[in-house]
Amino acid sequence: DAKTTQPNSMESNEEEPVHLPCNHSTISGTDYIHWYRQLPSQGPEYVIHGLTSNVNNRMASLAIAEDRKSSTLILHRATLRDAAVYYCIFRSYNTDKLIFGTGTRLQVFP
Amino acid sequence: EAQVTQNPRYLITVTGKKLTVTCSQNMNHEYMSWYRQDPGLGLRQIYYSMNVEVTDKGDVPEGYKVSRKEKRNFPLILESPSPNQTSLYFCASSLLNHGGSGYTFGSGTRLTVV
């Protein structure tokens, strides 16, 4: 199964943009890139997903490299409620399976 | 409200006493899955189902059973729980469309087996 690589932790100040990187050099051409976040004591929450083009929604933006070997989740203005573990994941075209890595723990300071 | 509902939220049981954790979704999703989350090991898939009466093993299926008799329900059954099944469990559902849809997760069930 394809794997992703993320930094263990990142820090940000409130109201600043946050760029969370993810490397996925083994991704196949048909696998979607998904991002989820998990707040303490809660289930993972869907953030955004994409295949090749950059994507925007009300929560975040997803920038996908042209060669698809990396992507970046962008939180435009971090809030204290954005402090969570962020997972960059493949969703397999063939099995629809989500394979979680260890994620990036984001700390947001006032 | 679109959601995945798991019950119970917390459960303490004794070794060997059969238990069922229920999972229900109201979004007409074909795909449902169970994960367990353990410190240092992250989220690992136990079983998944692509539709009614279609289930398959995930990465850590030993000691668990599932069934999918109705589209909305996907219970997780522990026939003879053991302490190494103490964990935080999540049920999730999604449309089935080759990876192009997000998962919705339940709030979790914290199981302790003594």
Predicted local distance difference test score (pLDDT) of residue B101: 84
Quote the minimal CA–CA distance from B81 to chain A in Å: 23
Q: Which of residues 1-30 of B touch A (CB under 8 A)?
A: 4
Predicted local distance difference test score (pLDDT) of residue A2: 59
Quote the minimal CA–CA distance from A45 to chain B in Å: 7
The beta-carbon neighbor of B99 closest among A45, A96, A100 is A96
Distance set, CA B112 to CA A80, B12, B77 (Å): 31, 5, 15
Predicted local distance difference test score (pLDDT) of residue B96: 82
CA distance B44 to B82: 18
- pLDDT per position as a tens digit, A19-75: 999 998 888 888 889 999 999 889 999 999 999 989 999 989 999 999 999 999 999
**With the C-alpha atoms ordered B74, B82, A44, B8, is the resulting torsion angle positive or negative?**
positive
B33: contact with A, CB 8 A cutoff: yes
A32: contact with B, CB 8 A cutoff: yes
Predicted local distance difference test score (pLDDT) of residue A98: 78
Is there a contact between B64 and B44 (Cβ–Cβ < 8 Å)? no
Amino acid at A62: L
Amino acid at B30: E
- pLDDT per position as a tens digit, A82-97: 999 999 988 877 777 7
Is there a contact between A89 and A34 (Cβ–Cβ < 8 Å)? yes
CA distance B105 to B90: 7
Quote the minimal CA–CA distance from B65 to chain A in Å: 18
Quote the minimal CA–CA distance from B62 to chain A in Å: 18
Predicted local distance difference test score (pLDDT) of residue A1: 57
CA distance B36 to B87: 6
Token reading at A81: 């409620």
- pLDDT per position as a tens digit, B21-76: 999 999 999 999 999 999 888 889 999 999 999 999 999 999 999 999 999 999 99
B73: contact with A, CB 8 A cutoff: no
Residue with tokens 């559902």: B93
B99: contact with A, CB 8 A cutoff: yes
By C-alpha distance, the chain A residue nearest B48 is A97
Q: How confident is the model at residue A104 (pLDDT cuts 50, 70, 90)?
A: very high
- pLDDT per position as a tens digit, B62-112: 999 999 999 999 999 999 999 999 999 999 999 887 777 889 999 999 999
In chain A, residues with a C-beta closer than 8 Å to the C-beta of B92 are 43-44, 98
Q: How confident is the model at residue A101 (pLDDT cuts 50, 70, 90)?
A: confident
When comparing pLDDT for A59 and B10, which is higher? B10
